[in-house]
């Protein structure tokens, strides 16, 4: 298996903890646009939830540092996001530490790694049962440069470098709700992504966990 530029931690937290984080978000209705359509809703996590996740992160952070070869300088505040069914603007392409200006990505934040934590689980809605309280159809975390995406799996954490090599978007939600947490890690020394350190593609990067 080739070394992957994506570090995946299955079962980073339990389904029970996922449910707790969703219920503790304080959001009961999604935001709406001027036409009354549901849009991506975000809020910063409360101190207790953030501490819970931060303490869990400390258990796996040495493995992440060893994988990428860096030392952590800081972890940013964590953001809770909700993409409801038929959400219009969740699919915007974004970059963890840069903005797209004048046809190029310009770094504007001191971030080295982006972290996604799924709180919902993907179900293709063709199964006999679909639980809209726990499952989502759609809401895939897409990486267009690498031509693949991650299906949400509650409790799974995905880490990747924050730069323009890793622009990403979430696909539209067809049914259910997608809940996820995003935060960023900064390194003591600026992490320079070298594609040659990660030969292969998604077919070899994830062979061990498929």
**How do residues 161-201 score in pLDDT, each as one tens digit?**
999 999 999 999 988 999 999 999 999 999 999 999 999 99
Instruction: Reply yes or no on whether the pLDDT at 88 is more than 70.
Output: no
CA gap 136, 139 in Å, rounded = 7
In the chain the beta strands, taken as DSSP E runs, fall at 7-9, 41-44, 72-75, 79-83, 98-101, 104-107, 113-118, 121-122, 135-138, 141-143, 148-150, 157-161, 169-170, 173-176, 178-187
- The confidence band for 208, taking pLDDT boundaries of 50, 70 and 90, is low
Tell me the average pLDDT across 72-89.
91
Q: At what angle do helices 15-23 and 47-68 cross, to 10 degrees?
A: 130
Q: What is the pLDDT of residue 126?
A: 67
* Token duo for residue 174: 């067809």
- The confidence band for 90, taking pLDDT boundaries of 50, 70 and 90, is low
- The confidence band for 28, taking pLDDT boundaries of 50, 70 and 90, is confident
Please state, for a pLDDT cut of 90, what percent of the chain lies above it. 75
Q: Which residues, other chains included, contact 50 with Cβ-Cβ below 8 Å and sequence gap of 6+?
A: 77, 78
CA gap 210, 207 in Å, rounded = 5
Say which CATH superfamily domain 7-205 falls into. q2cbj1_9rhob like domain (2.60.120.620)
Q: What is the pLDDT of residue 39?
A: 86
Domain spans in the chain, listed from the N-terminal domain onward: 7-205
In this structure, the number of other CB atoms found within 10 A of the CB of residue 210 comes to 7
Please state, for a pLDDT cut of 70, what percent of the chain lies above it. 94
CA gap 145, 128 in Å, rounded = 34
pLDDT single digits (tens) 116-169: 999 999 998 666 788 878 899 999 999 999 999 999 999 999 999 999 999 999
Instruction: Reply yes or no on whether the pLDDT at 61 is more than 80.
Output: yes
Q: What is the pLDDT of residue 31?
A: 83
Tell me the average pLDDT across 42-52.
95
Q: Mean pLDDT of all residues in the chain? A: 92
Tell me the average pLDDT across 102-127.
90
């Amino acid at each position: 298996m080739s070394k992957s530029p994506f570090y995946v931690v299955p079962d980073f937290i339990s389904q029970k903890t996922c449910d707790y984080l969703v219920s503790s978000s304080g959001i009961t209705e999604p935001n709406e646009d001027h036409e009354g359509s549901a849009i991506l809703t975000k809020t910063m996590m409360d101190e207790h939830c953030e501490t819970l996740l931060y303490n869990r992160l400390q258990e796996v952070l040495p493995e992440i540092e060893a994988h990428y070869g860096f030392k952590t300088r800081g972890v940013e505040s964590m953001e809770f996001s909700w993409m409801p069914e038929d959400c219009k603007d969740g699919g915007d392409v974004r970059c963890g530490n840069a903005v797209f200006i004048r046809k190029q990505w310009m770094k504007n934040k001191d971030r080295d790694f982006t972290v996604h934590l799924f709180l919902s689980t993907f179900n293709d809605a063709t199964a006999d049962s679909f639980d809209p309280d726990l499952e989502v159809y759609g809401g895939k975390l897409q990486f267009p440069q690498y031509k693949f995406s991650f299906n949400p799996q509650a409790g799974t954490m995905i880490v990747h470098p924050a730069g323009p090599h890793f622009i990403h978007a979430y696909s539209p939600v067809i049914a259910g709700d997608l809940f996820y947490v995003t935060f960023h890690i900064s390194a003591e020394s600026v992490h320079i992504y070298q594609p040659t350190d990660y030969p292969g593609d998604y077919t070899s990067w994830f062979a061990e966990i498929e």
